[in-house]
């Protein structure tokens, strides 16, 4: 049956793909890929010989209707990103929305995404959390951070290695340097690192080294006791 399949792919270790994902990719009429050069390596590793079509943030507005029409015509389309689950800080939302609006069946397979292992390994509460993904690089960045000062849930950010220290410094300025956090780097890869400590400690740690790899920053929410203390002080 023709439909859109959302297929998570490994975030580093090629073994982190499900048997079902491999089967769906092999049976698809076409695979939409964020970067066909990157995805061709994955498909080649698993001997998946299916045509690749480029689908990324720079062309998705122009291609979603075309892809939807191909599915309506009887094709099964699999959407993948360079790593992880499409739609999570990667292209995917626009195509899914278009298919839903046109009555096309959409099926999302379970699988890899970077923030879940980072959250679980952080040692911070993970029963309730807020996923922020990438903050705006310029306009609105400071305002977004300030809006999270009273957030009690654990907060998860994505960041590039080049802006990591800047992010930690901004969070320390807004939340306080003693707020606990964990920086996960190169998840599932050979040099995976989970650095835990206060924001001040993490700033010192990463300021003294060259940072490489994909980054997930998990930050403790506002401790309830501290919020109650501030409320009590305001009443006096």
User: Which residues are 217's β-sheet partners?
Assistant: 157, 183
Return per-residue pLDDT of the chain as tens, 236 residues.
699 999 999 999 999 999 999 999 999 999 999 999 999 999 999 999 999 999 988 888 899 999 999 999 999 999 999 999 999 998 999 999 999 999 999 999 999 999 999 999 999 999 999 999 999 988 899 999 999 999 999 999 999 999 999 999 999 999 999 999 999 999 999 999 999 999 999 999 999 999 999 999 999 999 877 555 554 555 54
pTM given for the model: 0.90
Residue 71: the pLDDT is 97
Residue 138: the pLDDT is 85
The one-character DSSP state at 221 is P
User: Which residues are 159's β-sheet partners?
Assistant: 215
Residue 99: the pLDDT is 97
**51: number of Cβ within 10 Å:** 9
Closest-CA residue to 71 (of 98, 50, 40, 34): 98
Task: Give CB contacts under 8 A, 24+ apart, made by 123-130.
Answer: 123/182, 123/196, 124/154, 124/180, 124/181, 124/182, 124/218, 124/219, 124/220, 125/153, 125/154, 125/220, 125/221, 126/154, 128/153, 128/154, 129/153, 129/154, 129/155, 129/156, 130/154, 130/155, 130/156, 130/221
CA dist 30 and 11 (Å) reads 22
The one-character DSSP state at 109 is -
**In this structure, what token pair is assigned to residue 122?**
């952080």
Residue 224: the pLDDT is 79
Per-residue b or e along 97-125, where b marks 16 or more CB atoms closer than 10 Å to that residue's CB: ebbeeeebebebbebbbbbbbbbebbebe
Residue 57: the pLDDT is 85
Mind listing the domains of the chain with CATH numbers? 4-108 (3.40.1010.10), 115-227 (3.30.950.10)
Residue 232: the pLDDT is 53
């Amino acid at each position: 049956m023709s439909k859109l399949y959302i297929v998570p792919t490994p975030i580093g270790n090629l073994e982190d793909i499900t048997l079902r994902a491999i089967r769906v990719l092999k049976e698809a009429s076409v695979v939409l890929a964020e970067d066909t050069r990157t995805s061709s390596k994955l498909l080649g590793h698993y001997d998946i010989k299916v045509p690749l079509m480029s689908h990324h943030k720079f062309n998705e507005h122009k291609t979603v209707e075309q892809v939807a029409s191909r599915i309506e015509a009887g094709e099964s389309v699999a959407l993948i990103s360079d790593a992880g689950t499409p739609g999570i800080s990667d292209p995917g939302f626009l195509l899914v929305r278009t298919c839903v609006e046109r009555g096309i069946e959409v099926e999302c397979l379970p699988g890899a995404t970077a923030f879940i292992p980072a959250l679980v390994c952080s040692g911070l509460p993970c029963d309730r959390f807020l996923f922020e993904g990438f903050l705006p690089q310029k306009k609105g960045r400071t305002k977004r951070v300030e809006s999270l000062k009273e957030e009690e849930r654990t907060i998860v950010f994505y960041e590039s290695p080049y802006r990591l220290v800047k992010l930690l410094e901004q969070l320390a300025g807004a939340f306080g340097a003693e707020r606990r956090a964990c920086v996960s780097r190169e998840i599932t890869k050979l040099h995976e690192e989970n650095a835990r400590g206060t924001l001040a400690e993490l700033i010192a740690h990463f300021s003294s080294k060259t940072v490489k790899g994909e980054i997930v920053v998990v930050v403790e929410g506002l401790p309830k006791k501290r919020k109650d203390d501030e409320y009590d002080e305001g009443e006096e």
